[in-house]
Amino acid sequence: MEEVFKSIPINYTPELSSGGKDSLIHFGVYTIPGGDTLSTMEIAVTESKPDFIQFNLYFSTGQKMFSITEIRTFKKKDGSTIVVFAKSGGLQRAFDQYSLLTFEYSDGDVVLSRELGLPETIAWNEFLKSNLPDSLKLQEMTLSTSYDLYPQTSNAIAYLLNPQTQQFNDWIGEVEFLYVWNGNKFERKVR
């Protein structure tokens, strides 16, 4: 997983230089240069498996913003490797999906691929029931969305809805969209 992580281009992890990635792998935490006693950001590995790594960007000085990055590999039927890269974050009570990207991985390099069946994001309104009353259709709802690259269903990726209030519970149709890897591409699992 280390080599896959190192191969992700810096424009997808701008807070991590090549040396920063090495430090994060070696020590499990990396302090972003330039901080001071008022504002210092760190990145910490929060979970690591042979085919998965998750790290969290946060303020070590107490501010509440966070960003979670997850990277997971899957094997294709032909033996080649694909990489799923997801980023979400915001504040504890209001966060969203930033992007989910898929890459083909070969010989230490990744190439972006949009042909593997995963949408980059799923809008929060996709999680709602279709019979939403007109009075709610234009109302701004407080619904946070995120990803889970290691859900309980093996060989899958989950897009999650995290309601921050019970105010709209009657109008939520789904809290999870699951995409299952079939060896060639991801397919949406319909319930």
Kindly state the percentage of the chain with pLDDT values over 70: 92
Q: Where are the domains of the chain?
A: 2-189
- Region 156-184: mean pLDDT is 85
Is the distance from CB of 117 to CB of 187 less than 8 angstroms? yes
pLDDT at 143 over 80: no
The per-residue pLDDT for 191 is 64
Confidence of residue 23 (pLDDT cuts 50, 70, 90): very high
pLDDT at 94 over 70: no
Strand 66-75 and strand 52-59: the pairing is antiparallel
The per-residue pLDDT for 54 is 93
Range with the lowest mean pLDDT among 15-19, 95-99, 176-180? 95-99
7 versus 90: which is more confidently predicted?
A: 7
Q: What's the pLDDT tens digit per position in 115-133? A: 999 998 887 778 888 877 7
Confidence of residue 92 (pLDDT cuts 50, 70, 90): low
pTM: 0.86
